[in-house]
């Protein structure tokens, strides 16, 4: 192709026909490599390469000159080839994984439409759609009214809740900062997500002012200890303002007892935030929603449909019970260039000032489309099935030697140690724990290098490295779970 000279304004720099041809070819590669091969159990989950080698293979360097289309298409292929196949039925590494095709279509459409969720004028469809999706999710929480926002992740949702709780108590913080305020304290459990601490640091509250409430063996916050810690904090001259509890902890999948925690919050007049990033989806299930009994008493709920509902990254909401426009009051800056007040339509539709972001991606469409396609019952089915998966895995583990559960799972996280043959019956040995701690990392290394599957491990408190498998992907079947168990045995049998 002849490059048009830049001084010539009669032709645009981009040619649609060529561009669309390229996009078609790329789409074919994506379907073939990511969606077909990438979900085929005969193919690897990952193609492990050392970083130096991978960098060479990818030829990452950015240069002066462009490349022919053929080479760029080859790059699309390479990126797919060496990336982890998170939709593969044997990817159990994270709380996302799997693919929903309706959602994926919604994601492609969002990308192509490339708009910004700040004003009705640029995003008429999505302003209304986001409101509807938030309404639908709030209904499941038990609220007929309220507010909310899609955020770039559960961490952000948690941080926003913290900011709102602080503002409700001391609206002057917005203009004056923290200096004229007493020391503020936040309460959460040691098994809550690390974003609570990160948020406290970012908001200028300080991580030391996040007070950790004791948990029971199953990882649930103990309301009595919460009450005591609040009293203690008050007696030290601090002002408790927020309890951030968790519905579905990251590792163990524990649900804090919301109703009893709400009682404590009522007593002390504290904002109750529920981090349901992971567990929120149980609200779709008649059978399992009791795990979040009391959630309607919360002031705010964070929930990530990109996790269990397979809506795709990122899809995360902050839901609020508030009906006083707190979100806008707390976050607004009234930028005149964007939120003009003399528009010809109802400017309450311009919700952008509720967010701390300016550009904000459209994250509602994919969830809406998927929800439309399979209905609440389809989503409920996914949740219920994930519980069945967990049950199946647990039953099978009990039948096999070498699998030791941390405890009966409450949710779809199955946490277990694999005890290799050489360690079985040696629980009393002084070096048992230190030897056991080394097992999971070795098995993990082997599975990654062979590419057969992926699952995560971690220590927790005084419990040494154990595996956590979350079995919610709607692409998983029994064969994959059996494979998982066999493969752990195979990879660990000589340890």
**Residues from 323 through 362 that contact ligand PLP (CB under 6 A):** 357-359
From 49-57, 244-252, 369-377, 476-484, give the range in contact with ligand PLP by CB under 6 A.
Answer: 244-252
Find which of its own copies, ligand PLP, none residue 275 binds, CB within 5 to 8 Å per kind. ligand PLP
For the bound state, the minimum distance from the C-beta of residue 311 to ligand PLP, rounded and expressed in Å, comes to 11
Footprint on residues 277-316 left by ligand PLP (CB under 6 A): 277-278, 304, 316
Q: Per CB under 6 A, does 155 bind ligand PLP?
A: yes
As a whole number of angstroms, the distance between CA 77 and CA 81 comes to 6
Footprint on residues 258-277 left by ligand PLP (CB under 6 A): 275, 277
Nearer to its own copies, 262 or 310 (CB): 310
Nearer to its own copies, 324 or 376 (CB): 376
Q: What b/e readout covers 320-336, taking b as 16+ CB neighbours within 10 angstroms?
A: bbbeeebbbbbbeeeee
**Looking at beta carbons, which residue is closest to ligand PLP?**
154
Find which of its own copies, ligand PLP, none residue 212 binds, CB within 5 to 8 Å per kind. none
Q: Per CB under 6 A, does 492 bind ligand PLP?
A: no
Nearer to ligand PLP, 277 or 364 (CB): 277
For the bound state, the minimum distance from the C-beta of residue 153 to ligand PLP, rounded and expressed in Å, comes to 3
Find which of its own copies, ligand PLP, none residue 235 binds, CB within 5 to 8 Å per kind. none
Residue from 89, 97, 146, 153 in contact with ligand PLP (CB under 6 A): 153
Radius of gyration of the chain (CA): 25
Nearer to its own copies, 264 or 417 (CB): 417
Q: Per CB under 6 A, does 370 bind ligand PLP?
A: no
For the bound state, the minimum distance from the C-beta of residue 395 to its own copies, rounded and expressed in Å, comes to 11
Nearer to ligand PLP, 103 or 316 (CB): 316
Output the 3-class SS for the chain. CCCCCCCCCCCCCCCHHHHHHHHHHHHHHHHHHHHHHHHCCCCCCCCCCCHHHHHHHHCCCCCCCCCCHHHHHHHHHHHHHHCCCCCCCCEECCCCCCCCHHHHHHHHHHHHHCCCCCCCCCCHHHHHHHHHHHHHHHHHHCCCCCEEEEECCHHHHHHHHHHHHHHHHCCCHHHHCCCCCCCEEEEECCCCCCHHHHHHHHCCCCHHHEEECCECCCCCECHHHHHHHHHHHHHCCCEEEEEEEEECCCCCCCECCHHHHHHHHHHHCCEEEEECCCCHHHHHCCCCHHHHCCHHHCCEEEECCCCCCCCCCCCEEEEECCCCCHHHHHHCCCCCCCCCCCCCCCHHHCHHHHCCCCCCCCCHHHHHHHHHHHHHHHHHHHHHHHHHHHHHHHHHHHHCCCEEECCCCCCCEEEEEECCHHHCCCCCCCCHHHHHHHHHHHHHHHHHHHCCCEEEEEEECCEEEEEEEECCCCCCCHHHHHHHHHHHHHHHCCC
Q: Which of 163, 170, 165, 135 has its CA nearest to residue 149?
A: 135
Footprint on residues 182-221 left by ligand PLP (CB under 6 A): 193, 195
For the bound state, the minimum distance from the C-beta of residue 456 to ligand PLP, rounded and expressed in Å, comes to 11
Find which of its own copies, ligand PLP, none residue 472 binds, CB within 5 to 8 Å per kind. none
For the bound state, the minimum distance from the C-beta of residue 111 to ligand PLP, rounded and expressed in Å, comes to 16
End-to-end CA distance of the chain: 60
Nearer to its own copies, 50 or 217 (CB): 50
Find which of ligand PLP, its own copies, none residue 270 binds, CB within 5 to 8 Å per kind. none
Find which of its own copies, ligand PLP, none residue 246 binds, CB within 5 to 8 Å per kind. ligand PLP
Find which of ligand PLP, its own copies, none residue 405 binds, CB within 5 to 8 Å per kind. none
Find which of its own copies, ligand PLP, none residue 459 binds, CB within 5 to 8 Å per kind. its own copies
For the bound state, the minimum distance from the C-beta of residue 151 to ligand PLP, rounded and expressed in Å, comes to 8
For the bound state, the minimum distance from the C-beta of residue 33 to ligand PLP, rounded and expressed in Å, comes to 26
Find which of ligand PLP, its own copies, none residue 471 binds, CB within 5 to 8 Å per kind. none
The residues that touch ligand PLP, with contacts defined as CB under 6 A, are 95, 153-155, 193, 195, 246, 249-250, 275, 277-278, 304, 316, 357-359
């Amino acid at each position: 192709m002849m490059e048009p000279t830049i001084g010539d304004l009669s032709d645009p720099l981009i040619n649609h026909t060529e561009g669309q041809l390229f996009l078609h070819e790329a789409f074919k590669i994506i379907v073939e490599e990511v969606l077909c091969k990438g979900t085929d159990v005969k193919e690897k989950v990952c193609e492990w390469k050392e970083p130096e080698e991978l960098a060479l293979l990818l030829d990452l360097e950015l240069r002066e000159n462009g490349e022919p289309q053929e080479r760029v298409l080859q790059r699309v292929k390479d990126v797919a080839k060496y990336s982890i196949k998170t939709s593969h039925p044997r990817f159990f590494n994270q709380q996302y994984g799997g693919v929903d095709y309706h959602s994926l279509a919604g994601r492609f459409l969002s990308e192509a439409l490339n708009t910004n969720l700040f004003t009705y004028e640029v995003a008429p469809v999505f302003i209304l759609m986001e409101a509807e999706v938030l309404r639908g999710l709030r209904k499941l929480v038990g609220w007929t009214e309220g507010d909310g926002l899609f955020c770039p992740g559960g961490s952000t949702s948690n941080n926003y809740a913290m900011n709102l709780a602080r503002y409700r108590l001391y609206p002057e913080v917005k203009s004056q900062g923290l200096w004229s305020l007493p020391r503020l304290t936040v309460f959460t459990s040691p098994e809550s997500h690390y974003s609570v601490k990160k948020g406290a640091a970012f908001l200028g509250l300080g991580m030391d002012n996040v007070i950790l409430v004791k948990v029971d063996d199953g990882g649930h916050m103990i309301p009595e200890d919460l009450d005591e810690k609040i009293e203690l904090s008050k007696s030290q001259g601090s002002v408790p303002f927020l309890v951030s509890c968790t519905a579905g902890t990251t590792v163990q999948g524990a649900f804090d007892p919301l109703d009893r925690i709400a009682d404590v919050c009522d007593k002390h007049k504290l904002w109750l935030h529920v981090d349901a990033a992971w567990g929120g989806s149980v609200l779709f299930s008649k059978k399992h929603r009791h795990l979040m009994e009391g959630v309607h008493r919360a002031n705010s709920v964070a929930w990530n449909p990109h996790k269990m509902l397979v809506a795709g990254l990122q899809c995360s909401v902050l839901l609020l019970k508030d009906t006083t426009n707190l979100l806008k009051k707390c976050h607004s800056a009234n930028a005149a260039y964007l939120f003009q007040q003399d528009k010809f339509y109802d400017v309450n539709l311009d919700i952008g000032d509720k967010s701390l972001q300016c550009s904000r991606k459209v994250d509602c469409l994919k969830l809406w489309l998927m929800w439309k396609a399979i209905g609440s019952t389809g989503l409920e089915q996914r949740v219920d099935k994930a519980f069945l998966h967990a049950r199946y895995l647990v039953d099978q583990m009990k039948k096999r030697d070498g699998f030791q559960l941390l405890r009966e799972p409450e949710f779809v996280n199955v946490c277990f140690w694999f005890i290799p043959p050489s360690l079985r019956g040696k629980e009393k040995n002084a070096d048992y724990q230190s030897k056991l701690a080394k097992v999971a990392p070795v098995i993990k290394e082997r599975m990654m290098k062979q590419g057969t599957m992926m699952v995560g491990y971690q220590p927790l408190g005084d419990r040494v490295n154990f595996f956590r498998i979350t079995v919610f992907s709607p692409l998983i079947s029994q064969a994959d779970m059996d494979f998982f168990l066999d493969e752990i045995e195979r990879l660990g049998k000589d340890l």
